[in-house]
A = this chain, B = another copy of it.
Amino acid sequence: MTVIPRHSWKSVRDVIHGKILDSTFGPGDKLPKDEELAGELGCARATVQRAMRDLAESGVVERRRKGGTHVRSDPVTRATLDIPITRREVEQRGSVYGYQLINLEEADTPYEIAASFGLPSPCRMLRVEAVHMADRRPYIYEDRWISPQTVPEIRDVDLTAESANEWLVRNKPYNRCDLRFYAERAGAYHARLFNTDVNEALFVMERTTWLNDDPITSLKAVTAPGYQLITTT
């Protein structure tokens, strides 16, 4: 009786993944149940579980109780995005970070902002406009709405000194986060801010967050010309 070399969950994962890649199991096919696979591979069921969870997380298979494990029929490329605090991002580029509050007011949200929160109608929120700078040049313009009902403490924060970005990330957890990326023409305001052409193409990130279905903040971040969002897996 030979002890099997070693059944790490990664090797189990790779064996199963291999059978999918070589078409032993095609898109949509049902895989044997964990228990069977554990028997075949000579490892504990928990090890198969661990392997399968990894495959499920990377989008290769789908699992459902009672339904079993199926090979996903529409493969996706899945990647993880890390969006750091803007200050950190600037500093890691080796630049000097700067921050400037442009405007702070309490006002009714436009319809689009209410909509992005999923609210039926506009309501009163705190609006914060600010610029993040890298080496004294504008780097990201942020236009943010904060719900003072969910985040009452925000009124006590000195937003001329600390960016809402930083304070919120450090102090206010969230459950749900919507992200949206697109390109936008600069327009007169941003062209002047970034000292560029009116027709420059700018990369825009929008982020809306909730805590237990209560709106926290909605942010539109317009980046300087040439900005790139990068991921490595």
State the A residues within 8 Å of B (CB).
17, 21, 27, 59, 74-85, 88, 169-170, 173, 176-185, 199-204, 207, 226-233
| CB–CB A79/B81 < 8 A | yes
| CB–CB B85/A78 < 8 A | no
Complex A-B: 19 CB contacts under 8 Å:
A27-B170, A77-B169, A77-B177, A79-B80, A79-B81, A79-B177, A177-B233, A178-B231, A178-B233, A179-B230, A181-B230, A182-B228, A183-B183, A183-B184, A183-B203, A183-B227, A199-B199, A201-B202, A203-B203
Known: A182-B227, A185-B201. 13 other contacts (CB 8 A): A27-B170, A75-B85, A79-B81, A79-B83, A80-B81, A81-B231, A177-B232, A178-B230, A178-B233, A180-B230, A183-B204, A200-B201, A203-B203
- Chain B residue at minimal CB-CB distance from A174: B77
Q: What is the bound-complex CA distance between A82 and B229, given in angstroms? A: 15
Q: What is the bound-complex CA distance between A201 and B85, given in angstroms? A: 26
Q: What is the bound-complex CA distance between A178 and B233, given in angstroms? A: 6
Q: Of B78, B82, B180, B183, which contacts A78 at CB under 8 A?
A: B82
Q: What is the bound-complex CA distance between A176 and B182, given in angstroms? A: 25
| Residues of B with C-beta under 8 A to A170 | 27, 75
